[in-house]
Amino acid sequence: MPVRAIRGATQLETDEREHLFERTRELVRAVLDANAVDSDALISIFFTCTPDLTSDFPAAAAREMGLGDVPLMCAVELDVPHALPRVVRLMAHAELAVERADVAHVYLHGATSLRKDLAQ
């Protein structure tokens, strides 16, 4: 089974823990649903946050969703001037029997502006 990388991002309204968890769960669910991936097919998820998000780790929200046995990691995005604020990004690696061009990447809320060619 091929391993594919799936990208996604969402933008938060505020840096509050519950809001971060809500948007992270929404993003993870959307990525899994759009690609018909269940947790057994997940290899890992790498999350990043813009430097203005410090209320908690997106991986903690994913663990609360039942993904505790999936390797999860968080990092901070580069602090680029004029970058879109309050963004959580993810790159999930999964066993996925589709061509690379057929992987469904998911961009939600204000993050749709990051990849208008891929936003759903």
**Residue indicated by tokens 């968890």:** 21
Point out the catalytic residue in the list 4, 49, 74, 86. Answer: 74
Known catalytic membership, residue 16:
no
Domain ranges of the chain: 3-113
Contact 90, 61 (CB under 8 A): no
**Residue 49 known to be catalytic:** no
What is the tens place of the pLDDT at every residue in 75-112? 999 999 999 999 999 999 999 999 999 999 999 998 98
Over the stretch 46-65, which tens digit does the pLDDT of each residue have?
A: 999 999 999 999 999 999 99
Residue 7 annotated in active site: yes
Query: Which CATH class for the 3-113 domain?
Result: alpha beta
The C-alpha atoms of residue 75 and residue 10 are separated, in whole angstroms, by 15
Q: Can 107 be counted among the known catalytic residues?
A: yes
Quick check: 66 pLDDT over 60?
A: yes
- Please state whether the predicted TM-score (pTM) of the whole model is above 0.75: yes
Q: Catalytic: 23? A: no
Known catalytic residue: 74?
Answer: yes
The position carrying tokens 């649903």 is 33
Determine the Cα–Cα distance for residues 72 and 14; give it in Å rounded to an integer. 23
Active site residue 13: no
Question: Where in the chain does DSSP place strands (E)?
Answer: 3-11, 42-49, 72-76, 87-95, 106-108
Q: Which of 30, 34, 20 is nearest to 88 (CA)?
A: 20
Using the predicted structure, report yes or no on whether residue 120 has a pLDDT greater than 60.
Answer: no
